Amino acid sequence: MGDIYSDYILSTEHRPNFSTFVEVDEIPIIDLSETSQENLISKIGKACEKWGFFQVINHGVPSDLIIKVENEAKKFFELSMEEKKKLKRDVFNATGYHDGEHTKKTRDWKEVFDFLVKDGVQIPSSDDPHDSGLCTQTNHWPQCLPHFREIMEEYGGKLEKLSYKLLELIPLSLSLALGNGPHKDPCILTVVAQDDTRGLQVKKNSVGGWVPVKPIPGALVVNLGDILEVWSNDKYDSAEHRVVVNSQKERFSYPFFLFPGPHIMVKPAEELVSDQNPAKYKRYNFGKYYANRTHADFCKQDAEGKEIHHFKISD
C-alpha cells in the first residue's frame, strides 16, 4: 500500500471512579505462537469482524523493555510543567508533549508525549487540495533524561515490526492481499501496552454499552483503525473506545499507531468491491486528511473531512 510511517503515544491518565461495566464476552486473546497459520488467521478474522479489538500474547516484544518504557515514561511525566512544555507540540508539528489544553476538551484528562518512529516525515501543511505545501514533523526529546530517547526508539521499532506482522495476517483473514504489506483511531491499527489499572473500554452496540478490556499480564491490545475499516469496505469495524477515569490511581499506556504514507490514497480494496457489494467510501488522500485532523485539534473542532464518515457514500 506504499510507504508507511508510524508514531505512538505515551500517556498517563488521572481518571474518577469507573463507570458501569457491561459483563459480556471478553475481548479475544490471540496467541501469535499458534503453529497453525490457518487457525491463527481464522481467530484474527473473527476478532476483527466481531470486535475490531483483540489482545495478543507471545508477540515478541520483551517484557523487560516494556518495564524500561514504563520507568522512563514515569520519569518524564514527573518532570515540572515548565520542563514538559519545552517540548510542547503545535499546529505545525504534532510531535512532543501535550495535555489536551489546546483541544478545549475537558473530558480528556490526560498527558501525552508523541513521537515518530521515523523522524522528519513531511505531511501536507493544510487540507486544501490546491495547497501543495509541506511541513516537516520533527521529534523533540527531553535532554534531562539521557536514556529516554534510546529506550523509546527501541520500543517503537519492536512495535513497528509487530504491526507489520499483524498487517500481513489481517488482510489474509479477508481473503485478499493488500500490496506489499504494507474516540476511533484514524490510523491502520493501534498496538497498546497498558499497565494493570483498568479503564480501557470498547463500545459494543449489540449489548448496548461499554465492555472492559481486562489487562492481561504480558499481553498487548490491538485495535483496528479507520483505514482498515475503509480498506475492508466496512466488513471490519474501527471500534469506538474510551478510557474511564480512576481517582485512586493514575494509568499509563503506551500506544503505537501505524499510519500510511501521506501520499497514499485510501479507498476500499478493489478485491472487496463488486456490483453486489459496491464501494462504501470515496477515495481520499491520507496526508490531507491527517493535516485536517491535526488542525482541527487546535481550531476547527467540527471541520468537514476529519472523520471517515465524511467520505461515506450514501446509499
Instruction: Specify the range with the lowest mean pLDDT, choosing from 168-172, 242-246, 292-296.
Output: 292-296
pTM: 0.79
Strands (DSSP E) found in 37-132? 53-57, 96-98, 110-116, 121-124
- What is the average pLDDT score of the chain? 80
* pLDDT value of position 15: 38
Full set of structural domains in the chain with CATH? 4-302 (2.60.120.330)
pLDDT (tens digit per residue) in 86-138: 998 877 788 889 886 544 444 456 788 989 888 877 777 766 767 777 788 88
Distance CA 208, CA 206 (A): 6
Using a 10 angstrom Cβ sphere, with 0-12 exposed, 13-18 middle and 19 or more buried, the burial of residue 7 is buried
Cβ–Cβ under 8 Å, residues 15 and 247: yes
What pLDDT, in 10s, does the model give residues 45-88? 999 988 889 999 999 999 999 999 999 999 999 999 999 999 98
Q: How far is CA 265 from CA 37, 166, 239, 262, in A?
A: 30, 21, 22, 8
What integer pLDDT is reported at residue 83 of this predicted model?
93
What pLDDT score was predicted for residue 195?
78
Query: Residue 202: which of 232, 244, 159, 246 has the closest Cα?
Result: 244
Q: What is the CA radius of gyration of the chain?
A: 19
Q: How far apart are CA 69 and CA 66, in angstroms?
A: 5
Q: Among 26, 33, 111, 125, which residue's Cα sits nearest to residue 77?
A: 111
17-40: b (≥16 Cβ within 10 Å) or e: eeeeeeeeeebbebebeeeeeeeb
